[in-house]
């Protein structure tokens, strides 16, 4: 009802000014409109409220936020977007869901808006947004359906995206005479040395299920491994996959006690509590390390690039935001999306304590945060194929790899057979879901 009135007023305004035609600013036309945003109740989004207030003040477009616990987000969004007319005008998704949303026709391609001169800010500069973030969260339909590629199209802009970097304890490394590792060989040597000295080396997630798999994936990409080849054959049991598993085993052996039971929070807490010399995972560790409520080691932490094995490759993950196909205020929604990911919005997010998505923002603030120069250098080699963004990944992630890798880190059994068995199970899943149907044709 409210929205209908708002729309009518908007229509009247259009009619009244039709003769004189031009607007004072691009937002004028949507003044008084209310858009509804669905996003997770996570720290970055909580801090975005300041940005929203600024947006409403500047544009006259009202924003209503529906913040949900992120596990409930997907069901709610799908429900809304399946209706003929949805409540939501902006939705944010975990990168994992993007393929499903697009294949079900729930999202509006952003090209619809980027073709409109009245809507696009000429200074928006989409190339400034970290490419890995944009490709990983926003582009759908490229290579393998989720990677960049000519067949891909843009459906969303990254907001609350992340990659991995390495955090380390300057004091411990200095005391032990260890140089900051740049490669996996150096890292493993450092872990060995710390282990022998009785100092817990690296913390990691290790709990059975998606946690241990995430820990292992962080090493798989830089060591040159992948889950599937281009024809969906599981290849994570090749030399790189086994080596990554070996690294996980060494981490569990030399790291803080209890890694096989660590979830994300436990792993971070071990580092923040001073019980580990290294941390390789999301860049969010930097903000946590600065928070005196969480951290005992604020001034002792240094940041470096995610070490390199046979290649440079860091994590890609987090969220991106787009516009549902059944939104009733698509233009206003686009203006909002463009605003929060603009240079000005990105900078505001940094000031509010959130995570930026633009290279220029990282550059401009490089002297303020120790991790920014590292992230700036890290982002270009973030791996878009870090994990397959397909629906079958859930089962593979938790039931297959999550189990196999637990065996790796809690036993001394040879790794190759464990990974081979997991690959067999992965193949069975892919077979069941019809991924190999093209084999006989070609």
Residues interacting with another protein, by CB under 8 A? Answer: 74-75, 78, 82, 100, 206-210, 256-262, 266, 270, 273, 275, 391, 394-395, 398-399, 403, 406-407, 409-410
Q: Nearest approach, Cβ of 52 to another protein (angstroms)?
A: 27
CB of 180 closer than 8 Å to CB of 173? yes
Q: Nearest approach, Cβ of 39 to another protein (angstroms)?
A: 17
Q: Token pair 């998606």 is at which residue?
A: 210
Q: Helix/strand/coil (H, E, C) string of 340-400?
A: HCCHHHHHHHHHHCCCCCEHHHHHHCCCCCCHHHHHHHHHHHECCCCCCCCCCHHHHHHHH
If the CB atoms of residues 62 and 237 are measured against another protein, the closer one turns out to be 237
CB of 142 closer than 8 Å to CB of 150? yes
Q: Nearest approach, Cβ of 156 to another protein (angstroms)?
A: 18
Residue 168 parent element (H or E):
strand 164-169
Q: Nearest approach, Cβ of 110 to another protein (angstroms)?
A: 23
If the CB atoms of residues 39 and 339 are measured against another protein, the closer one turns out to be 39
Q: Nearest approach, Cβ of 75 to another protein (angstroms)?
A: 5
- The crossing angle, in degrees rounded to 10, of helices 239-254 and 415-432 is 120
* CB contact burial 236-251 (16+ within 10 A = b; e otherwise): bbbebbbbbbbbbbbb
If the CB atoms of residues 74 and 188 are measured against another protein, the closer one turns out to be 74
If the CB atoms of residues 362 and 393 are measured against another protein, the closer one turns out to be 393
If the CB atoms of residues 78 and 294 are measured against another protein, the closer one turns out to be 78
Q: Nearest approach, Cβ of 441 to another protein (angstroms)?
A: 23
CB of 348 closer than 8 Å to CB of 365? no
If the CB atoms of residues 109 and 274 are measured against another protein, the closer one turns out to be 274
CB of 48 closer than 8 Å to CB of 354? yes
User: What is the SS3 assignment for 317?
Assistant: strand
User: What is the SS3 assignment for 303?
Assistant: strand
Q: Nearest approach, Cβ of 440 to another protein (angstroms)?
A: 22
If the CB atoms of residues 246 and 365 are measured against another protein, the closer one turns out to be 246
Q: Is 19 left (phi over 0), alpha (psi -120 to 50) or beta?
A: alpha
């Amino acid at each position: 009802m409210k929205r209908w009135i708002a729309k009518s007023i908007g229509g009247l305004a259009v009619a009244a000014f039709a003769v004189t035609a031009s607007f004072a600013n691009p937002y004028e036309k949507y003044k008084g409109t209310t858009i509804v945003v669905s996003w997770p109740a996570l720290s970055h989004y909580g801090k975005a409220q300041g940005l929203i207030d600024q947006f409403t003040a500047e544009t006259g477009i009202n924003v209503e936020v529906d913040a949900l616990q992120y596990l409930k987000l997907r069901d709610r969004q799908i429900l809304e977007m399946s209706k003929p007319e949805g409540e939501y005008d902006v939705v944010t998704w975990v990168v994992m869901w993007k393929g499903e949303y697009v294949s079900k026709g729930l999202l509006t391609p952003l090209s619809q808006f980027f073709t409109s001169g009245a809507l696009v800010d000429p200074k928006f500069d989409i190339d400034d947004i970290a490419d890995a973030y944009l490709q990983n969260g926003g582009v759908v339909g490229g290579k393998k359906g989720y990677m960049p590629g000519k067949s891909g199209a843009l459906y969303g802009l990254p907001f609350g995206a992340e990659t991995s970097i390495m955090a380390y304890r300057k004091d411990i490394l200095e005391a032990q005479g260890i140089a900051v590792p740049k490669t996996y060989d150096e890292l493993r040597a450092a872990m060995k040395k710390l282990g022998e000295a009785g100092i817990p080396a690296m913390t990691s997630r290790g709990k059975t299920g998606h946690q241990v798999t995430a820990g292992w994936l962080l090493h798989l990409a830089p060591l040159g491994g992948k889950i599937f080849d281009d024809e969906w054959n599981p290849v994570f049991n090749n030399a790189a996959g086994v080596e990554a598993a070996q690294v996980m085993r060494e981490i569990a052996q030399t790291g803080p006690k209890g890694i096989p039971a660590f979830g994300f929070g436990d792993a971070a807490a071990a580092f923040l509590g001073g019980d580990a010399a290294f941390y390789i995972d999301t860049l969010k560790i930097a903000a946590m390390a600065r928070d005196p409520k969480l951290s005992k080691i604020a001034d002792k932490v240094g940041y470096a690039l995610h070490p390199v094995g046979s290649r440079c490759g860091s994590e890609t993950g987090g969220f991106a935001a787009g516009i549902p196909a059944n939104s009733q205020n698509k233009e206003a929604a686009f203006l909002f999306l463009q605003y929060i990911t603009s240079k000005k919005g990105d900078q505001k997010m940094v000031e509010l304590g959130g995570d930026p998505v633009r290279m220029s923002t990282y550059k401009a603030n490089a002297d303020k945060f120790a991790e920014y120069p590292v992230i700036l250098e890290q982002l270009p080699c973030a791996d878009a194929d870090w994990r397959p963004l397909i629906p079958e990944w859930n089962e593979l992630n938790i039931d297959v790899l999550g189990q196999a890798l637990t065996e790796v880190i809690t036993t001394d059994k040879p790794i190759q057979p464990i990974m081979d068995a997991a690959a067999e199970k992965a193949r069975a899943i892919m077979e069941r879901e019809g991924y190999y149907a093209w084999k006989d044709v070609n």
